Structure 1
Amino acid sequence: MYDYFLGGTTNFPADRESAGKAMAVFPQVLVAARANRQFMHRSVRHLSQLGMRQFLDVGTGIPTSPNLHEIAQATAPDARVVYTDNDPIVLTHAHALLRSRPEGRTAYSHGDARDPEALLNSPEVRETLDLGRPVALSLIALLHFIPGEHTAHGVVEYFKEALPSGSTLTISHVTPDFDPGGLARALAAYEAAGTPVQARTHEEFTRFFDGWELLDPGITVTHRWRPDPEHDLSQVTDVEAACYGAVARKP
């Protein structure tokens, strides 16, 4: 569904049917998906400019270009990127994620975000990233697919504890704060398609970053996070974006 919302080509009739139902009750979901993707682009570019050279993208999803490594390596050709997902369809299309610049490297690990210990110990992660050096961890549009406060926050806390000082954490997450009724109807469409989703409030989202230092501009709606001329989102409203985004650094 996300690939369809982004205008990608790797989606199937069942995806398009479910996406249509979500759009019927929450038309802004198309804008929300694209604002979220552009948030990923801007945050990765910003971290690359700040000197981050190792990226771990958990919950990658079906590749829709430009992908994270394309953004990172445009600024830092020597950047190393590991993608992870538990969807076998993503594994089928992982070749699109492995087209690294020769100076850098990309890898794909088939794993589940709900088992962060196994994920961090996978051969692909261990052989591509130096976990003794700062890592930019991306959890983009992922945690709302992990229901339950204990589970989602537990996953994040494990990563935060395991990564070294100087690492960064980037999260985007759907929220009910701007249109609770419309969002509830959209999430019901996901539920009907067999995908449970849990939206979280500003307070619940903020807890993911406890103990880490938020980068400017802090926690905001995705389209308001360091906007740039490449992404003209001036006409997007908070209701349409429907997601919080933030980046933080480990002290």
Structure 2
Amino acid sequence: MSRPLRTIVAEQGAWAGQLMWEAVLDRGVPAGAGPGAAVSEGMEHDVTQNGFRAEEIDTSRPHPARIYDYLLGGKDNYEVDRAAGDLLADRAPEVRVGVQANRAFLQRAVRYVVGSGVRQILDIGTGLPTSPNVHEVARALDPGVSIAYVDNDPIVHTYANALLRTSAPTAVVLGDLREPAAVLADPEVRRVIDFTQPVALLLVAILHFLTEADEPERVVAELRDALPAGSYLVLSHATGDFADRVEAEAVYNNATATLNLRERAAVERFFAGFELVEPGLVQVPFWRPDGTAPKGSAEIGFYGGVARKV
């Protein structure tokens, strides 16, 4: 019987796991499928955490995390993801600049919340590891920052488990944003996050994959209510306010999650119960920029903001 990557990593170290993942993704073969295996549509992969069986890995359809990785210049993606990313870039030419700007916003926001005294981060919708990762940014300021990474994609979970665990308190959890109570109660989350102390909740480029039927405002409110005063919400969200992106939105119709662009007022409602810090809710390249905003920033379709719970 083939062993899951998580077992190999435990025996041989994260670097061996990274090399194996690179080979797996280059070949288009799910991890743990065994030598010479090929991708089958709907193939299940036994990635387990505390006895929990992961969802099947679907390599027949593009996945938002892998599309995002491709647009960032990463290599942890399949041909179906690259095709979707190219189509998205064709329909929304600013998208590559936009995802880079969103990533830069995340890094600035993490530096801000850690600089404000927060020493715990709950990152939901982590996505595939991209350096510098959240823990690298945070621990450059304070090596003792505790971080819980949460994602519902088994590929993301396995890869992140191999690469993101460090000596400081870190958890990598297979969990779903649409089930906030389960995320908050997860033993691994509770192991590294003390909810009696301020927490930075990161919901970066994730809520736009929730439909209205998923009740995203309720989801955020449930997470907010678990946080003590002094906590922060870091949030970014895709929008069509600055250019017509109906065709770009349609690229995700065949993906594992649909894209749901929202107007500014709808995004702002996610901050209910928090106080936005300056400059408020703005396009991500204009949130406390380190320098000059990149060319084409005026059309970047991401809102971003940071807010404090009082």
| TM-score bin (small chain) | over 0.9
Within 1, Cα distance between the matches of 2:269 and 2:255?
Answer: 29
Identity of aligned residues (%): 43
- Answering whether residue 115 of structure 2 is matched by residue 49 of structure 1, we say yes
Match of 2:102 among 32, 36, 51: 36
Match of 1:138 among 202, 205, 212: 202
Query: Is 2:247 the partner of 1:185?
Result: yes
- 1:235 is matched with 295
Structure 1 residues 15-30: aligned runs within 5 Å: 15-30=81-96
Deviation at 1:21, TM superposition (A): 1.0
How far off its partner does 1:59 sit? Answer: 0.4
Counterpart selection for 1:114 from 151, 155, 178? 178
* Alignment correspondent of 2:257: 195
- Quick one: which amino acid aligns to residue 236 of structure 1? G
Report the more deviating stretch, 194-203 or 219-228.
Answer: 194-203
SS at match of 1:172: strand
Deviation of 1:238 after TM superposition, in Å, equals: 2.3
Residues 118-175 of structure 1, C-alpha deviations (whole Å, 9 max, x = no match)? 0011011111111110100000000000010761111000011111111100100001
User: Which residue of structure 1 lines up, in the alignment, with residue 42 of structure 2?
Assistant: none
In the TM superposition, what is the alpha-carbon distance from 1:233 to its structure 2 partner?
A: 2.4
1:97 aligned to 146, 161, 164, which one?
164
Q: Which runs of 5+ in 1 are unaligned?
A: none
User: Residue 60 and residue 51 in structure 1: after superposition, are their counterparts in 2 closer, same or farther (change >3 A)?
Assistant: same
8 Å CA contact retained: 1:223, 1:236: no
Q: In the alignment, which residue of structure 2 is the partner of 1:249?
A: 308
Aligned residues: 243
* Shift >4 Å, 4+ stretches: none
Distance 1:106 1:137 in 2: 15
TM-score by length of 1: 0.93
Which residue in the other structure is 2:148 paired with? 82
Task: Please tell me whether the aligned partners of residues 94 and 296 of structure 2 are also in contact (alpha carbons under 8 angstroms).
Answer: no
TM-score scaled by structure 2?
0.76
**Which structure is larger by alpha-carbon Rg, 1 or 2?**
2
Query: What 5-or-longer segments of structure 2 have no aligned partner?
Result: 1-66
Whole-Å Cα distance in 2 between the matches of residues 82 and 216 of structure 1? 26
RMSD: 1.3
Cα drift, residue 92 of structure 1: 1.8
